[in-house]
Structure 1
Amino acid sequence: MAAIAGFAPEAAGLISTISRRPGCAGARGSAKSRQADFGAKSGQAASAPLAVVPPMTDQSRMRTIYIDCNGAKSPAEFWQRYVDAIAPEDAHFFGRNLDAFWDAVEGGGPGWPGEVKLVFTDSAGLAAFQVGSGLSLLDGLRRIANDATQTEIELA
C-alpha cells in the first residue's frame, strides 16, 4: 500500500485503489485535485502536502503468475487457463481473445492480471491455433509481449 505523508491510513487505501489500474478514469486528475479530495476525507486542510510513494515496481519482488499452456487443446481452453490463473474479479467480462488480452494487460480492462509478471510456460503448442488473419495464438502473444509496457509478459 502506498505511504502518504500527513494523511490518515484510510487515505492510503484510496490512493492505492485509484492508482493500481493503469488507464482507469480514477487514475487521472491532477495531484492538486487528489490532494483536495483526500485532504478533506482525512480531516486535514486541503493545503497539506501530498506525498505518494509509487507502487513497488522492482521486478525482483514483483509477483509472478505462471500459466501452463502444455496440452491446451483449443484457444478457449488456453483462455480459461489464463482466467483460472489470474482469477480476476471481472472474469465474466473478459473477451478471451488477443484484443481483450491487450486491453487487459495494457489498459487495465476486464481480465487485468494486476501488477504482476505473466509467464506462459510450454507455450510452443499455441502455434497450432490460428486466431485471425493467419496469425497463430503464439505469434499474437509474442507481439503483445513485445509491445506491452504495463505488464511484463514472458513466453517460455
Structure 2
Amino acid sequence: MSPIAMGGPALFIGTDTVYVALVRPELDPADPGVRLAAEQAGVSPEEFAGPGNVWALMLDEGGEGDGFELPGARDIEADDFAEQLQRSLAAAEPFTAEAGNFLRLEARPAGDAWVVTARVTPPEGHEDGAAPQTLELGALPAAELLADLEEFRRALA
C-alpha cells in the first residue's frame, strides 16, 4: 500500500524507503488546509484545488524525496502503462516497461517476487536540469504488484 495520500489515482511501486509513484493528486476544496491556502492566494477553494488532472511522478530513496509534474500526461497513458505492466508480469519473464520518456522499469522474476529497477528522467526544466536517477526498488511481491495495478486501473475507470 502506498505511503502517499494524494486523493487521486496513485500507482506506488517500491517500499517505504525507496519507491516511484505515478500520481494524479486531487485536492479537496472542503479541506481546511486547502481553504486556508486558497484564502492566502486570494482565490476560491475550488479554483485553488483545480481540475485534478495533472499527473506527477514522485520518487524517494532513503528520505531524499523528489517529484515532478508530467506536462501533457493523460489518464489513458497511465492506464496503458499499468496494462503493459500487468501483461509483462503475467508473462513471468524479465521485462522493461516505459511510461513516456520519464520512467522505465526493468524487472526480473525472483521466486514469488520481482526485482525491480526504476530509471527516472525528469522533464526539461525540472530543478535546473536534474540528472536522471536509477533506483533499486528491491524484490517486490508479485501478488501485491498485480493487486496494486488492478486497484490503480479501477481508480482510473
Compute the TM-score of the two structures, normalised by the length of structure 2: 0.23
Bigger Rg over Cα: 1
Q: Which has the higher helix share?
A: 1
Compute the TM-score of the two structures, normalised by the length of structure 1: 0.23
